[in-house]
A = this chain, B = another copy of it.
């Protein structure tokens, strides 16, 4: 039995999900160019939907790697990944009309559950070395009430291959410091469901100098900076509003090693300590009770998708050790631009190498980040 290598950050768009996007005309949507044989285009960032970009070139090509589970399994074989915990990619179901949110969410979560069940049944009945799947479900956040959302949290707990929930930073539309989310936090805490917090909305173009600047460099600014900065802002707002004080048993997995939270944790803590508004008795509002470091060491898990030793060192230190970091790939995003038939993806090998170089010669630590931690934290077989 080889050591497990578990990919906890790997996305799918189910075929039904893509058809739903195909019927839409505004972000997020799928556009099929008229040209023969051209890949469909997936437009999920508002910066990709500028009128200055020809319609057929907006967004990114979406091929079978996004929706065909066999392509995922091939990718796993190529990289020696034994188990993947698949999740719907952004923007999940955030955009659904209120009246269809629950129905679509249940349909897509059930699809994910059935896919995992089918693949794992095959694995059980066949030789070793066959791949297994688990999933994070999505929530009907645009549903009419938070109770509908909380109910889906409970329902997901009853599906045998679900191991948590993936969610963006918008919450019910007002961010994650919205007190209206409390029933959902309560439900996550009560069911001890892991929440995989993932960016989608990025930063407004103005943060980069306006849309012309953003587009000048392709997707680099929104993806390299917008995504991690969004995650950092979202979790800091949670912290500042006292979510981790009110729900001290929340378990949150942060995408991209926390965005930039491990690096900025000290500065955040210092700014809170020096904030006049937060001074007891004199301040307008109360600051958070539990420190950033305590939250990082008890509530937060980090994926190891940070593409270098510098980031990984900060992540491991901030998390209080290597036992809260989990390997991931971000598949099918960041494919090689000149893919060789059997080679490893650069985006994946960069993370493999960073883990090995940062933690060696401690082989147990490398094994833990690559798979052991995921098996323990997510209760995988």
Contacts and interface: CB of A to CB of B under 8 A. Distances in A.
Interface of A: 174-175, 177, 203-204, 206-209, 213, 216-221, 223-225, 228-229, 232-233, 236-237, 240-241, 256-257, 260, 262-279, 283-285, 293, 306-311, 313-315, 317-318, 334-337, 346-347, 350, 354
A313 B229 CA distance: 20
Given A175-B213, A209-B175, A279-B337, A310 B274 contact: no
A270 B221 contact: no
Contact of A203 (B203, B279, B306, B335): B203
Contacts of A236: 220-221, 224-225
A306 B274 contact: no
A78 to B, nearest CB: 17
Given A209-B175, A271-B224, A311 B233 contact: no
B204 A206 contact: yes
Nearest to A236: B225
21 contacts: A204-B206, A217-B240, A217-B277, A218-B277, A218-B284, A219-B275, A220-B240, A220-B271, A220-B272, A224-B236, A228-B260, A229-B229, A262-B263, A262-B310, A262-B314, A263-B314, A266-B311, A266-B350, A270-B346, A274-B346, A310-B314
B218 A276 contact: yes
Contact of A233 (B221, B223, B233, B317): B221
A124 to B, nearest CB: 36
B218 A278 contact: yes
Residue from A177, A263, A315 having most chain B Cβ neighbours under 10 A: A263
B223 A271 contact: yes
A175 to B, nearest CB: 5
A41 to B, nearest CB: 12
A267 B224 contact: yes
Contact of A313 (B207, B274, B314): B314
Contacts of A347: 270, 274
Contacts of A224: 236, 264, 267-268, 270-272
B225 A213 contact: no
By Cβ-Cβ distance, the 9 closest A-B pairs, closest first, are: A266-B308, A266-B307, A218-B277, A263-B263, A314-B314, A224-B271, A260-B260, A310-B318, A310-B317
A47 to B, nearest CB: 13
Contacts of A174: 209
A270 B279 CA distance: 42
A312 to B, nearest CB: 8
A363 to B, nearest CB: 21
Contacts of A266: 306-311, 350, 354
A197 to B, nearest CB: 15
Contacts of A228: 260, 264, 267
